[in-house]
């Protein structure tokens, strides 16, 4: 490149394209740039390109480009691109100004996955394209809505069970009428806590299924840009502008996603509904609906604490079974979703119990 023979704006573009690519890769993998001081150098070079006189830019261009090219090469080794790095750099530069990339909200998984070999990022292949990939201080993490909802639901279940355990332990402590009277409000509080956590656990598990189904539809759209308009609308939960019930989506989405067009899940014919879908669309949905907008004709919500714990536990089993069944109905040849821990009840329950324990320890100042 002849620094003295090209227009100054083109020279600046040569600097900035390299800086953009290095910025992107080092944001996704902070240690991608071998020398720690190089990041400071990059920032300084960026400021220098914007403020230095033209003569200085041209005089130092060869040395600066040589440094940047070494960093670009190192970046490509850590995160191999699937397209020309200059093209990726130009796109990244535009995304910075459009807020598609930010240190607080990351960047979309699909955009990264389509442009890089992501094996070094430890992103599961089944991570939804609309998931957000962490950058900077959040590098190495990913966020997608159904994961949050699933963790929330298990957390509420764990809190429900911990509160019920404490509530039942009061039996051995309230040995006299005087003690029982003095502790009445505390016992009543734990009774209410069990119901609160149980109710929101059921709500959370049902919400997770709805979100998970919607996410699979959205991800399929992102990975298959040539889908017809009708199919895109359907996979976004609408038909003729009207929203579809989750029961309809559970049945129809696999038909669109599977190559063979089959519908393994049947919910439109009551005689053909099997478990766990039968319990999901009846028992779990009834409790969820009563919790969201109660009416006398709906499921009771003032029930014994043991009933709420049982409802929450059943919701965890049924809703995860529905999610596993739906995933398999859509992708019969794939393993269960890695990005959700293969929908393993035990794994998510353990994580939730650890959260409850850590919270209690922090609140007690231990």
Residue 238 pairs in a beta bridge with 243
Question: What's the whole-number mean pLDDT along residues 233-246?
Answer: 95
* Residue 22, pLDDT above cutoff 80: yes
- Residues 206 and 9: their CA atoms lie apart, in Å, by 56
pLDDT attached to residue 175: 78
37 pLDDT band, cuts 50/70/90, is very low
Residue 349 pairs in a beta bridge with none
pLDDT attached to residue 36: 41
In the DSSP assignment, the letter for residue 96 is: H
pLDDT digits (tens, 9 = 90+) for 175-216: 788 877 888 899 999 999 999 999 999 999 999 999 999 999
pLDDT attached to residue 366: 59
In the DSSP assignment, the letter for residue 281 is: I
- Residues 115 and 341: their CA atoms lie apart, in Å, by 25
pLDDT digits (tens, 9 = 90+) for 247-284: 999 999 999 999 999 999 999 999 999 999 999 999 99
Domain boundaries, the chain: 8-143, 145-363
- Residues 274 and 278: their CA atoms lie apart, in Å, by 5
- Residues 154 and 201: their CA atoms lie apart, in Å, by 7
- Residues 93 and 97: their CA atoms lie apart, in Å, by 7
32 pLDDT band, cuts 50/70/90, is confident
Please say whether the beta carbons of 163 and 176 come within 8 A. Answer: no
Please say whether the beta carbons of 320 and 343 come within 8 A. Answer: yes
Q: List CB contacts of 71: < 8 A, sequence separation 6 or more.
A: 18, 22, 33, 38, 42
- The segment with the largest mean pLDDT, out of 98-112, 164-178, 318-332, is 318-332
Name the average pLDDT for the chain: 92
Instruction: Please state, in angstroms and as integers, the Cα–Cα distance from residue 101 to each residue in 151, 163, 213, following that order.
Output: 26, 42, 26
Classify the C-alpha dihedral 279-285-291-293 as positive or negative.
negative
pLDDT attached to residue 31: 85
Lowest mean pLDDT segment, chosen from 5-14, 132-141, 306-315, 353-362 = 5-14
Please report where in the chains the tokens 């020279």 appear, as a residue.
11
Q: What percent of the chain shows pLDDT beyond 70?
A: 96
* Residue 20, pLDDT above cutoff 60: yes
pLDDT digits (tens, 9 = 90+) for 67-125: 899 999 999 999 999 999 999 999 999 999 888 999 999 999 999 999 999 999 988 99
2 pLDDT band, cuts 50/70/90, is low
pLDDT attached to residue 297: 79
Q: List CB contacts of 120: < 8 A, sequence separation 6 or more.
A: 29, 78, 79
Closest CA to 216 of 135, 336, 120: 336
pTM for this prediction = 0.91
Please say whether the beta carbons of 195 and 305 come within 8 A. Answer: yes
pLDDT attached to residue 34: 60
Q: What percent of the chain shows pLDDT beyond 90?
A: 78
Closest CA to 220 of 126, 313, 119, 356: 126
């Amino acid at each position: 490149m002849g620094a003295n023979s090209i227009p100054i704006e083109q020279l600046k573009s040569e600097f900035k394209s390299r800086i953009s690519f290095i910025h992107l890769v080092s944001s996704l993998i902070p240690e991608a740039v071998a020398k720690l001081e190089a990041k400071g150098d990059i920032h300084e070079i960026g400021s220098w390109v914007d403020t230095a006189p033209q003569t200085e830019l041209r005089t130092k261009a060869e040395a600066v480009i040589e440094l940047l090219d070494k960093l670009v090469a190192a970046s490509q080794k850590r995160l191999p691109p699937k397209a020309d790095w200059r093209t990726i750099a130009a796109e990244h530069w535009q995304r910075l100004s459009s807020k598609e990339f930010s240190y607080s909200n990351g960047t979309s998984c699909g955009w990264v996955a389509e442009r890089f070999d992501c094996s070094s990022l430890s992103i599961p292949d089944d991570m939804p394209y609309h998931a957000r990939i962490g950058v900077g201080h959040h590098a190495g993490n990913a966020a997608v809505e159904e994961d949050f909802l699933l963790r929330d639901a298990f957390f509420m279940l764990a809190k429900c069970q911990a509160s019920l355990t404490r509530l039942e332990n009061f039996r051995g402590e309230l040995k006299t009428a005087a003690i029982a009277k003095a502790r009445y409000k505390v016992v009543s509080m734990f009774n209410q806590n069990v119901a609160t956590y149980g109710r929101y656990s059921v709500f959370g598990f049902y919400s997770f299924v709805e979100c998970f189904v919607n996410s699979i539809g959205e991800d399929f759209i992102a990975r298959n840009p040539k889908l017809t308009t009708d199919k895109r609308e359907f996979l976004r939960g609408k038909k003729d502008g009207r929203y579809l019930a989750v029961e309809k989506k559970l049945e129809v989405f696999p038909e669109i996603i599977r190559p063979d067009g089959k519908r393994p899940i049947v919910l439109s014919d009551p005689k053909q509904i099997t478990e766990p879908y039968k319990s999901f669309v009846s028992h779990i949905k009834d409790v969820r609906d009563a919790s969201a907008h109660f009416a006398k004709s709906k499921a009771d919500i003032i029930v014994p604490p043991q009933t709420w714990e049982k409802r929450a536990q059943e919701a965890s089993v049924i809703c995860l079974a529905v999610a596993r069944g739906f995933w398999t109905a859509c992708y019969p040849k794939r393993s269960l979703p890695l990005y959700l821990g293969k929908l393993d009840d035990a794994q998510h329950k353990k994580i939730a119990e650890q959260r409850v324990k850590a919270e209690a320890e922090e609140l007690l100042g231990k």
